[in-house]
Structures are given as structure tokens and as C-alpha cells.
Structure 1
Amino acid sequence: MSVTMYRNKVQGLEKEIANIEKDIGIEQEKLAKALKTIQRTNSTSTFNSKQRELINTQKKIGDLKGKKANKIKSLNQALDQLRRLEDRELKKNKTAELRHTKAITDELKKQQRISQEISANPISINFKLLPEKINVLFLASNPTDQSSLRLDQEIRLIHEKIRASEYRDSINLQSRWAVRSNDILQAINEVQPHIIHFSGHGSPDQDIVLETTEGTTSLLSKEAVTLLMKTMSDSIKLVIFNNCFSSGQAEAVTEHIDCAIGMNEAVYDDAAREFAAQFYSAIAFGKSVQNAFEQGKLALILAGLEGDEIPELYTRTGLKPSDIILVKPAL
């Protein structure tokens, strides 16, 4: 039983004991009245009747006191168990708090180390080669036969973070919803994206979950995604698979594009949103893909959300994510 269940049990037992005490009081009043009647009456029949009532009332009081004793025993046992569970929960919360604090400290040290490495080895970026504005294509799919995801909240949070960034006008965010497999080529041709963001479900077999014309599940395999990136890679620099079990897809597509991010296992909806929003915020401040990725994971830790170890970053052979900057800063 949980702490809450034991607290409810204690409250219930306390209420039962109070009711028993009330019943004992009522029977004691009856007992007192019967004794007064016996003392005052001269009638044999009344005396005998009240004598029987007196005996029955005394028996009821005895039974109620026995019941009360059993309830008090149960209450003491429940209180003892409740105290043990509360102590255990307190220790567990302290351990979790210490673990959370350590994770934040470790991540901040890591960020500091990366910053020092970058300072010691300045990145040489030819900003003239960067586009004036990068296009982000947000592809959302949430079939009716899958668990519901708040993908609208994800893009809203991403949009808010971008609008609050230094180079907000350098990012053009466009979205497509209820995406089917034959929608993707059309969307890429229309938007010419530098970043493609898949948002929705993923399967344990590393498929992306899209939709049919009826709104039910349609699967896009890792091989199909890889072929898609090979064919359409002219402008694409980064692909984000914000789906469960998508790290294999991310690793595979870096054969044809600069970098990709995927999830190595199932990821909670709120964690996926928080990671993506902070990632785009950092990108829109002119940070490197590596720094944006680390900031996304740090955002999960700071928010107290599980899953900071789930996102994985992959790059094409010979490239460093710390050297990849997508947004052109104001010069």
C-alpha cells in the first residue's frame, strides 16, 4: 500500500473509533436510566424488565469496548506502517534530489568544458556561405489508432523560443500536419528545408509512424527515410527525429546529410517538447548544433524531467557538430 492509502486507512479507523465511542456513550446513558428506574420502582414486572435491559446494555457496552480495542490496535499498526513509509519516501525524495542536483552540476561542468575547448580552439566559420534565413519543416503525424500526443504544444513552444531568440528573423518555421508518406516529397520541394523535424510516434522497429488517408497508422521504414534523405539532400543540413526509437534512423541518414538527432528509446511527450524547444532556441541564438543539443538535454535536467540520456546526436564522417552553425549571426 502507498503512503496515501495508509493515510486514508488511518483516517477511516479514527472515524470508526469515534463512532464506537459515540455508541458507547449512548449505551451508558441507557444503562444509567435503567439503574435509576430499578432503584425507584416498586413494580416487580418493571424491575424484571429493566434488569434484563441492564444486562443487555452491559453486554453491548462490553462488545463495543472490545471492538474499540481491536480498532485501536489496527490504528496503531497502520500508524506504524505509515511512519515507516513516510520515512522511506522522505529518504527516496532526498536521494532523488541529490541525484538531480548532481546531474545539473555534471551537465554544467560539461558545458563549461566544451566552452573552454571552443575558446582554446576557435571555430573557423565562413558566415558568408550561410543562408540569410534557414527553413525548418515541421512534419507532424498522430494517427487516430495511436495514443494522443500534444504536437500542437510542441510547435507552439518551439515558435515561442524562436521568437524570443536573438536571430529570430533568420528562421522560417513551417509545418505540415497529419502527414502521409506521399506528403513529404511535396513539402520538401515547397519549403526547401535546411532542417526537417519529424514529430510523432516511432515504432520499436525504427519506423516513423505516419498516417493513411483514413487517419490510421502507416509506417515509413528506416531504409525509406535514408533513401529520402539521399534523394532530397540538396538543402537539408539537419534532421530531427523527435520520435521514440529513432536513433537508428538518425545514424543512417548521416551518410547523406551533415547531422541528425534521434531518440534511443521511448521518450515522454513533455520531455520531447522541452528538448526540441530549447534546441531551437539555442540554434536561433547562433549556437552550434553540438551546443544546442547539450542545451536541450540540460533543459530536461533543469525541468526535472526524465530522459536526458535518450537523445543521440550523429554527424557525417569527418564533421564535428561543434563546427556546424546553421544560423547566420548579424555581422
Structure 2
Amino acid sequence: MNNDDIRNELIRIRRAQAEAEQRAQAYRSRETEQRGYASQARKRAEASGRMADLPSAATHHTRQADAAAENAEAWERTAAERRMEAARMEERLAAHGQPGPSRGERRGPGEGGRVPAPASEKLRVLWLGAGPEGDLRGPREQDRIREAVHAATHRDRVVVDAHPAATAAHLLTQLPRFRPHVVHFSGHGNEDELFFEENKDVRHYGVPVKAQTFTDVLAAVDEPPQLVLLLACDSAAQAEKLTGTVPFAIGMTGEIDDETAINYAARFYATLCEGQSLRAAHNLAKVALRHAEFPDHDAPVMFHAPHADPARAVLVSPPNAHE
């Protein structure tokens, strides 16, 4: 192998290492989550005297935690193997007097910590609303977001492409066409699915899109989004897994009602459009919910890839900031 071949192989190994580390982290987080659920289930059963509930609750979560731990250990072993391979490749380059590839050549999600604002283009937000049963206030959320953006200092640096009755086809079409920096889904969901609309004019139950399918679609395009926001019940698990594909993702722990979701989204985008970081936008939106005494104010949770820093991720800033 010549030096170029070695450098390319080193880049490939580092990518594989980063992916293994991300997957291990995700499984460790799931293990912690499931053990927490198991502990809560035991306490509820003990408090109510209904210990017969344990097999269907605490035991289930414990098994899920054990399975996650096994997967985490397997990915940790893989990451360790990739690290050793990378070290050997770096030694080969050093023997030839060649430096290793720079961090800019490593294409893992969020690699390098800072996620800069788009330099010469507006921030593009793809808003996908789905309420097939007619029980969600998607248009109201859309209006509140537009009002928040319009009132912000850098309103001219943001464009929102909204689809209030989004089907899975909208996602497939608009990802490569609109090339969004942010994908925002507002609708029903759970740990494993998001429910898009069907192309029909009557109320229906929606079309489920598996979490893995949604992830695969995002990963398939040349320019995956920098942020995915899932305003859907129980979507935190999906959001956490998405950080293997995108630098940042936000999901909901448990249920979240329309009013909470709308107020979170409006404050989040209002803060982003003032040139604040993702961390600031997320935290300020949650503070606003808590101050307004929404009972589900802690539902929104942000996740990020290991090398991505939400405190340094500024997605909206004036054009002269990049000159």
C-alpha cells in the first residue's frame, strides 16, 4: 500500500471506530434508561402491594437492559479493535514521514465539535406535520414558528418549508430537493415509529414509518440534516439513535400535549434566530415551559454525537459573521 492508500484506510477505520463508539454509547444509554424503568416499576408495585405486576414490568425492563448491555459490550470491543487498527496505520504513516489525516477529513456526524452556521445560505427547516386522526394542532404550531422567526433579529436568514399533511413521500422528495439543515416532525410517534399521513381526504390512523427506516432515509442523502427535532410522544429513544447519523437530535420522553409542544417549538426557533446556540435554544425553551408550569416541561431532551457540542452549534447568524 502506498501512502495515499494507507491514509484512506486510516480514514475508513476511524469512521468505523466512531460509529462503534456511538452505537456503544447509545446502548449504554438505553441500558441506563431501562434499569431506571425497572426500578420505578418495582417501587410502584411495592407501593401498591401489586407484586404480581413485576413479571410484566420490572422483569421486562431488566431483560431489555441486559440485552442493551450485551450489545454495548460488543460495540465497545469493536471500537477497541478499530482503535488498535488505527494506531497501526498511524505508525505506518509515521514510518514514511507522513502525518495522519486531519480532523476535517473524518466524516463522522458532528466530528470536530463545532457545527458552524451555513456560510452563504439561509438555514433551511423542513417542517413535517402529520395529524391523520384530526386530533393535533399542527397548523397552530406552524403559525407560531413562523411568528417566532418573523419577530427575530435574523429572520431573513431562515426559510421554512412546511408540509402540514406530510406523507412519507414528502420526506423522500424534500430531503434531496430542499436539502434541509433541520428536519422537524410534528405528529404521533412512539419508541419505534413515526406516523405520517396517507394521501387521502378523510381521517385515518396514519402510516407508520419505522425508526430504522426514517434513519436510513436521512443517511441516504449526500447532505444529511444537522438537527432532527421529533415533537412526538415517546420519541426520545429514536432521537438518541439518530445521533449515529446526524450531529444533533431532540425527542420527547413520555407524552407531550399540543400546547407544550407548540410553546417549546416557538421559543426554540425564536432563540435560534437570535444567533444563539442549540444548547441555549433548547435550554431557554425548557425554562419557558417550566416557568409557565407546563406539567410535561421536561419532556424535550437533546442528544448529540460524541464529537458534537451543542454549546458551539450556531445555526443562524448574519452573513458578515462568515466573512
Normalising to structure 1: TM-score of the pair?
A: 0.59
Once residues 265 and 115 of structure 2 are traced to their aligned partners in structure 1, the CA distance between those partners, rounded to angstroms, is 27
Counting only pairs closer than 5 Å after superposition, residues 53-64 of structure 1 correspond to structure 2 as none
Name whichever of 206-215 and 194-203 sits farther off: 206-215
Name the residue aligned to 2:249: 260
Label 1:256 to 1:301 Cα distance change in 2 as closer, same or farther (>3 A): same
**1:279-324 CA-partner distances (Å, limit 9, x unpaired):** 0001100000000000110111222212121111011121111011
Q: Would you say the 8 A contact 1:229–1:253 is kept in 2?
A: no
Paired position in structure 1 for 2:187: 200
**Whole-angstrom distance in 2 between the partners of 1:292 and 1:137:** 18
Q: Which residue among 187, 192, 195 is the counterpart of 1:209?
A: 195
Question: What residue number does 1:186 align with?
Answer: 173
Measured in 2, the distance between the counterparts of 1:125 and 1:246 equals: 25
CA distance in 1, matches of 2:297, 2:222: 29
Partner of 2:149: 162
Residue of structure 1 equivalent to 2:132:
143
C-alpha separation between the residues in 2 aligned to 1:220 and 1:128? 30
Give CA deviations for 1:252-285 in whole Å, capped at 9, x if unaligned. 1111111010001110110000001100001100
CA distance in 2, matches of 1:219, 1:128: 33
Paired residues of 2:243 and 2:305 also in contact (CA < 8 A): yes
Q: Would you say the 8 A contact 1:135–1:174 is kept in 2?
A: yes
Deviation string, structure 1 residues 132-178 (Cα, Å, up to 9, x no partner): 3111110011113xx61111110111111111111000000110122
Whether contact under 8 Å (1:271, 1:305) holds in the other structure is yes
Q: How do 1:306-317 and structure 2 match up within 5 A?
A: 306-317=295-306
Larger relative contact order (Cα-Cα within 8 Å, sequence gap ≥ 6): 2
Aligned to 1:237: 226
Amino acid at match of 2:254: E
Equivalent pairs, count: 205
Structure 2 residue aligned with 1:81 = none
Residue aligning to 1:58: none
Corresponding residue of 2:163: 176
Letter in 2 for 1:179: A
Spell out, residue by residue over 1:55-96, the C-alpha distance to the aligned partner (whole angstroms, 9 max, x if none): xxxxxxxxxxxxxxxxxxxxxxxxxxxxxxxxxxxxxxxxxx
Cα 1:310/1:129, change in 2 over 3 Å: closer
Query: What corresponds to 2:139 in structure 1?
Result: 152
- Aligned pairs for 1:7-86 within 5 A: none
**Structure 2 SS opposite 1:323:** coil
Question: Which structure has the bigger radius of gyration?
Answer: 1
Which structure is higher in helix share? 1
Find the aligned partners of 1:314 and 1:129 in 2 and give their Cα distance: 21
Would you say the 8 A contact 1:131–1:327 is kept in 2? Answer: no
Give 2:212's aligned residue: 223
* Aligned position for 2:318: 329
Task: Tell me by how many angstroms 1:235 deviates.
Answer: 4.7
- Secondary structure of 1:285 counterpart: coil
User: 1:322 aligns to what SS in structure 2?
Assistant: coil
Residue type at the aligned position of 1:195? V
Paired residues of 1:141 and 1:177 also in contact (CA < 8 A): yes
Match for 1:236: what amino acid?
P
Q: In structure 2, do the counterparts of structure 1 residues 233 and 328 end up closer, same or farther at CA, with 3 Å as the change threshold?
A: farther
Pairing partner for 1:248 from 226, 231, 237: 237
Moved beyond 4 Å, runs of 4+: 124-129
Structure 2: tracts of 5 or more residues without a match: 1-112
Listed as ranges, the gaps of 5+ residues in structure 1 are 1-123
RMSD over equivalenced CA pairs, Å: 1.9
Could you tell me whether the CA contact under 8 Å between 1:233 and 1:257 is conserved in 2? no
- Pairs within 5 Å for 1:278-297: 278-297=267-286
Would you say the 8 A contact 2:230–2:252 is kept in 1?
yes
Residues 164 and 211 from structure 1, CA distance in 2 versus in 1: closer, same or farther, beyond 3 angstroms?
same
Instruction: Compute the displacement of 1:328 (Å).
Output: 2.2
Measured in 2, the distance between the counterparts of 1:134 and 1:126 equals 13
| Matches of 1:223 and 1:125, distance apart in 2 | 27
Change (3 A) 1:148 1:127: closer
Change (3 A) 1:271 1:126: closer
What letter is aligned with 1:218? V
Contact residue 138 and residue 186 of structure 2 kept, 8 A: yes
Counterpart Cα distance in 2 of 1:320 and 1:126: 8
